Amino acid sequence: MRASAYLFSLVLLTGCLTGSALAGTVVQQVELKPGQSQPQQRVTVYLEAGRLRVEGDNPSSGKYLVIFDESQQVTWMVDQSKGTYMEFTKAQVDQMANQMQGVATQMQEAMKQMEAQMADMPPEQRAMMEQMMKGRMGGMMAAPAPAVKTVREKAKGETVGQFTCTRYEILSGGQLSQEVCAAPADALQLDASAMQTFRALAEFYEPLTRMASSFAGNWAAPSGMDQIQGFPVQTVMYSNQKPTSEWRVEKIENRPLEASLFELPAGLKKTAMPAMPPGR
């Protein structure tokens, strides 16, 4: 679901957020494709102490909604086009992390056993077995170590829309992976209680993000966001040194927010969270 991918990107922002105490916060963002001015999608984030709401409209998957409530330790992911929602509790996060840990342990034990069996094989037969193992295990038997992330300041005083920001480059293994232009949180008048909600969201998903490094290699390496000062008002993603997508903040405002924004809408049908198949 596109909502879960966007939610993970929010988690990665938590290391660079500070602010002064004000009211609720509303952040309006757009996703752009390189060389295009028409937004790929629009996302609005509502924040107040202990609660978060994300509204998005993706061209391929339709409208979605995510609500996080720190006091209940729950995240609801709503597919508005289907009228359904999934409930993701802290207990489920811990359970999924434990399942991932179990799978990782099984893979390590299986690899040790196979390597012991292949030790005395002729080189040709060993190569065939290694190729077979790679196919069966989805290429994860030799997952690379997380690439080293390097953050360097590129330019100060740049302008992105109505914001003045400092541009940073994030390099993964020496290759440009992101450019971030961050504006001082105080200048944006970001609410400190809302920023604490971002951190609560990161803590909620911490077991999964920690365990992901066992499976995802470079994807799970530290993002480097904790080295960036301020709030990202523009983030450009790169692949093979070329930009692939851009997130840009269009507007930030502080105002009182209705409590109903953070409540699960009525009339939705609950669907089960996808389960991890045993032994996968």
Domains of the chain: 2-94+144-256 (2.50.20.10)
Q: How many CB atoms lie within 10 A of CB 17?
A: 20
What is the reported pLDDT for 197?
Answer: 86
Strands 62-69 and 175-183: what pairing? Answer: unpaired
Q: Under 8 Å CB-to-CB from 108, ≥6 apart: which residues?
A: none
Of 192, 247, 263, the C-alpha closest to 30 is 247
Q: Tell me what pLDDT residue 36 has.
A: 85
- Which pLDDT belongs to residue 279? 44
Read out DSSP for 32-73? E-TT--S-SEEEEEEEETTEEEEEEEETTTEEEEEEEETTTT
pTM (predicted TM-score): 0.71
**What pLDDT was estimated at residue 21?**
41
CA atoms of 255 and 89, how far apart (whole Å): 29
**How far, in Å, CA of 129 to CA of 132, rounded?**
5
- What whole-number distance in Å separates Cα of residue 140 and Cα of residue 125? 21
Residue 146 is given by DSSP the state: P
Spans of the chain below 70 pLDDT: 1-22, 100-110, 112-113, 116, 133-147, 191, 211-226, 273-280
Residue 17: closest CA among 193, 257, 251, 234: 193
d(CA 208, CA 7) in angstroms, rounded, equals 13
Kindly report, residue by residue over 180-228, the tens digit of the pLDDT: 999 987 788 776 777 788 888 888 888 877 766 555 444 344 455 668 8
**Contacts by 60-68, CB closer than 8 A, 24 or more apart:** 60/2, 61/1, 61/2, 64/1, 64/2, 64/3, 65/3, 65/265, 66/3, 66/6, 66/7, 67/262, 67/263, 67/264, 68/197, 68/200, 68/201, 68/204
User: Would you list the DSSP string of 89-143?
Assistant: EHHHHHHHHHHHHHHHHHHHHHHHHHHHHHTTS-HHHHHHHHHHHHHHTTT-TTP
Count of beta carbons in the 10 Å neighbourhood of residue 210: 13
